[in-house]
Chains A and B, each alone.
Chain A
Amino acid sequence: MSYTLRGRIESRIAAVLPVLAAACALAAAEHRWWPVEAAGLMLGIGLALDVQVYHPLLRYQPAWATLPLGALELGLLLAAMRAAGVAAPLGQALLLFAGAWLVAQLLGHAGFPLLRLSYAEDGGELGRLGAAVAVSAGIVLAGAGATAYALRPPVVHLAAGVHQGPLVITRREVLVGEPGAVVRGGIVVRARGVTIRNVSVVGGENGITIDGYRGTVLDRVSVSGSKLDGIHVRLAGVVIKNCTVDMLGNPLGQGIDISYNMNMGMSMVEGCTITGGMEGITTHSSMTQVTDNHVSRTTMRGISVTEMSMGMVMDNEVRDAHGIGIWCNDRSMCSIEHNTVVGTAGVGVLASFQSEAALRGNQLTTNTVPFQATVNSEVATTH
């Protein structure tokens, strides 16, 4: 088809309208904004490409071109989501894009031509309908933006200095520590959608406890001196980024423990530094992505994925674990890629008790035993 510029834009907006509606419904159901943000980005990227690339370059667009152009738009969307910090589950984001692409194809090849007889000869223009859908899309996006703005959680600033805890958060909020803000005695999260940023926690039974609430984000938190776990997550969905957990002097504690949240979607631990403790990062019955962390000097294991967990362990550095560097245990399925495990007294990577570990691109050679599988387990290596 030979689109006019107006035809491209009108067809684009009209095709994204049902996707926007679906994204709004999904956002309402999940109490998360990423579907609307993703749909908005999808529309923005599409319109930018229409104006800047497709219209000048493609005087005629054959049907097959929708495949590579769709792949291009998907790549740009994922990059834009990453750059904009849109925290979407990858699978669901791909599903949303695939649905949007399919809707666009169905409408472009069947729906619009049936709706408007001269659709092809008008170069994709939709006449009055085009203006109406543009206004509708604008209203939906503006409405979503206004709603998001109105529903923003309150931001609580924690002043510099020591605050006696435990600090219990019972409402959705963003807790931001000023430089030098310290909570002594731990933080307990008792609400959905809490964000804690730039806060140091000293002491407490657990440094930070999240039990039974979704949507917690810990960003640049620092934990030390806790009695049990540094960060303790139970039955909760969580994103932990750029944290520091100091467990030195606590040989039985765990740096980060994320457990029993398999039904809460994907959790994430990224860019954290954990020192000491019995285990650095451990997950039980969980789907957690563990990437780009530094774990060192643990008394038993560096990173554990256990009790029927499904986990991706990527780009981590594990040093000087006394027992096992990365452990895939108890019927878990682990994808272990591009990690560096050094100085382990026992095994670099161990799969045990009916677990499956897929290894790729890891640096394991300096360990006493680089990798091993025991008790009906399997290690598959690729390079």
Chain B
Amino acid sequence: MTVAIVGSGIAGFTAYQSLRRELEPEEIVVLGPDDDPASTFRRHAAAIHQREMRSESDGHCLAASFPGLSFRSAVRRRSPGPLLGTLVDRYHPTLDEFLDHVEGLRDRSGWDRSLRRTRVARVRAVEDGFELDGHGAFRHVLLAPGHPGLNVPGGLRDDPRVVHSYEPHEYESTVTVVGAGLAAATEWLNALAAGAEVVSVRRREPVRRPLNVPREYLSRRGLAGFHRLGREERAAKLRMLLAPSYPPGRRFDEPLATATMEDRFRVEESVNGSRQVICATGFRRGFRHDPLLARLVDEHGLETVDDWIVLDPDGSVPALTDDSRTLALAGVSAQWAFPAADTLTGAKYVAHAFLRRCRTR
């Protein structure tokens, strides 16, 4: 056995699908606490009543971008609608479509045969590989530990009115939503639809763009320049690219305009006296919040910049990767290599490169 994935969430699952192009389930070990790869995602999506994906036709877990979800949907519905939507970048799979896709893929791909339900707390470099917390040594290891917990701003942690947007909740009559990303925008609409009066508290005006980052940063076109940046410039660029954003369009604009006219929606600088405070502030940022990654960095003296572990452009850890072994990061912890690493496209980006390394070394 030479290949292991640490993490059984969506990023690990997506990487697994790429590896399965060339490896049998028995040749891959997945170490993670959940057998359902979508369990965390499903819980978060349910909490904010998410109905459709921000991603487009390529937002799936399969190794190749074709056939994407729009093509499959068009075949299933016997309608060209999804394909026409893709033509103008307006196709977004529904949440149910995506979850069905994950479920089907889980059954077909042999995921459960590869999975060992366990939590890995330590990765240690050994000769020609990595020892995974008593589960054996592997030559090629992909770490996909996921987001390190929900982020609640310091001043609000002890406030009894506070709930995080990704935790189950209903809506009070007056609601303050903290944040400026897609989760915040979704919560504005949810709370307004529930009849609440909504106050948006945010540090900056939200960026409006279709995907998490400008599209050129999903391919080598934008990434080549990004990878050429020096450490400080790259960190600054990452902070800029990762600023909260949500898609442009009437879906958000019209209800907010109407609510503003009715005096049910306004922007304020700080949390006021609302009965409920929803923190749509995403996840805690930085490797230090993840015990596995923090220990990996400390024990191996890995290079870091601010919140990020320094990676090669393909997502591998340079100090621990050579011709005989590979340690790569996937998911949010791979942002140093791929700014949108916590998306499905990002998971595939790292997985494809990881597969190349497994194949050639």
Contacts and interface: CB of A to CB of B under 8 A. Distances in A.
A84 interface: no
A128 to B, nearest CB: 12
A2 B64 contact: no
Contacts of B63: 117
A3 B221 contact: yes
A178 interface: no
Given A59-B216, A123-B221, A64 B87 contact: yes
B58 A60 contact: no
Interface string A4-34: 1001000000000000000000000000000
Max chain B CB contacts within 10 Å: which of A59, A64, A109, A118? A118
Nearest to B21: A117
Contact of B220 (A60, A110, A114, A123): A123
A114 B216 contact: no
Contacts, number: 70
Contacts of B88: 62-64
Contacts of A123: 219-221
B355 interface: yes
A118 B352 contact: yes
A345 interface: no
B18 interface: yes
B348 A121 contact: yes
Interface residues of A, number: 22
A118 B215 CA distance: 16
Given A62-B88, A118-B352, A2 B219 contact: yes
A315 interface: no
State the majority secondary structure of interface residues on A. loop
Interface string A78-122: 000000000000000000000000000000011001100111111
B220 A122 contact: yes
A118 B64 CA distance: 8
Contacts of A113: 64-66
Nearest to B222: A2
A270 interface: no
A110 B66 contact: yes
A64 B86 CA distance: 9
A7 B216 CA distance: 13
A118 B65 CA distance: 9
Nearest to B346: A121
A54 to B, nearest CB: 12
A3 B221 CA distance: 6
B76 to A, nearest CB: 18
Interface in B218-254: 218-224
Contacts of B349: 118, 121
A150 to B, nearest CB: 42
A1 interface: yes
Q: How large is the interface on B (under 10, 10 to 19, 20 to 34, 35 or more residues)?
A: 20 to 34
A114 B221 CA distance: 20
B335 to A, nearest CB: 15
Contacts of A110: 66-67
Contact of A63 (B86, B348, B353): B86
A301 to B, nearest CB: 52
Nearest to B63: A117
B78 to A, nearest CB: 19
A7 to B, nearest CB: 7
Interface in A267-310: none
Given A117-B21, A121-B345, A1 B219 contact: yes
A219 interface: no
Contacts of B224: 4
Contacts of A62: 87-89
B66 A114 contact: yes
A1 B87 CA distance: 11
Contacts of A114: 64, 66
A125 interface: yes
Interface in B266-319: none
B349 to A, nearest CB: 5
Max chain A CB contacts within 10 Å: which of B67, B86, B352? B352
Nearest to B217: A2
B221 A117 contact: no
Interface in B70-111: 86-89
A120 B66 CA distance: 10
Contact of A118 (B66, B89, B353): B353
A121 B352 contact: yes
B219 A120 contact: yes
Contacts of B216: 2, 59-60
B339 to A, nearest CB: 12
B57 to A, nearest CB: 9
Nearest to A111: B66
A119 B64 CA distance: 9
Interface in B6-21: 18, 21
A62 B58 CA distance: 13
B220 A4 contact: yes
Contacts of A64: 87-88
B74 to A, nearest CB: 13
Interface string B51-67: 00000001000011111
Contacts of B222: 2, 59
Interface string B14-50: 0000100100000000000000000000000000000
Nearest to B351: A117
Nearest to B345: A121
Interface string A322-343: 0000000000000000000000
A62 B57 CA distance: 13
A7 B220 CA distance: 9
B220 A63 contact: no
B241 to A, nearest CB: 14
9 contacts: A2-B215, A2-B221, A2-B222, A60-B214, A63-B89, A114-B66, A120-B219, A122-B220, A123-B219
Given A64-B87, A121-B345, 5 more contacts: A60-B216, A114-B64, A119-B65, A120-B218, A121-B352
Interface of B: 18, 21, 58, 63-67, 86-89, 214-216, 218-224, 345, 348-349, 352-353, 355
Interface of A: 1-4, 7, 59-60, 62-64, 109-110, 113-114, 117-123, 125
